[in-house]
């Protein structure tokens, strides 16, 4: 079960003015003293909330057998619905004695790690556009 919400807004403005002795540069390219002014502002707001409840099964593989006999396991499940894609990764350490019918509860996994990633419209709304990201990297002021 997954519920999430995103709210984002952004605004960017850039201004570059070049003058030659107080005259707009286009009218005065006569070798006069040049001055340049620039201004860039970026204003962004964002809020995100998520409530995830994972119920189900995920297949894992043993990636390592530790010296004490415990098993390091990891697995991944990909789900695509419409234009949204979700990836769930799970890893941890289990005691082989806890295995029943080749199954173990997540409450019996040591060092459990759950990674949940999504791609799609919801993820796009929380990221600045490519032009804004480029300008913020190279803009000197």
User: For 55-106, what is each residue's pLDDT tens digit?
Assistant: 778 899 999 999 999 999 999 998 888 777 888 899 999 999 998 888 998 8
Better pLDDT: 71 or 53: 71
Q: What are phi and psi of 135, to 5 degrees?
A: -65, -40
Residue 64, pLDDT score: 96
Residue 129, pLDDT score: 66
Residue 63, pLDDT score: 96
Better pLDDT: 123 or 133: 133
CB under 8 A, 24+ apart: contacts of 35-38: 38/14, 38/140, 38/141
For residue 113, name the pLDDT band (cuts at 50, 70, 90). Answer: very high
Residue 86, pLDDT score: 84
């Amino acid at each position: 079960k997954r519920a999430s919400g995103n709210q984002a807004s952004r605004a960017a403005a850039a201004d570059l003015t070049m003058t030659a002795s107080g005259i707009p540069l286009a009218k005065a390219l006569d070798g006069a003293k040049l001055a340049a002014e620039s201004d860039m502002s970026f204003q962004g707001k964002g809020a995100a909330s998520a409530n995830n409840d994972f119920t189900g099964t995920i297949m894992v593989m043993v990636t390592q057998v530790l010296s004490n006999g415990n098993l390091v396991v990891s697995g991944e499940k990909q789900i695509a619905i419409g234009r949204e894609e979700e990836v769930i990764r799970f890893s941890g350490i289990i005691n082989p004695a806890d295995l029943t019918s080749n199954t173990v509860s997540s409450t019996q996994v040591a060092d459990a790690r759950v990674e949940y990633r999504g791609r799609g419209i919801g993820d796009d709304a929380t990221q600045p556009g490519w032009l804004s990201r480029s300008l913020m990297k190279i803009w000197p002021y």
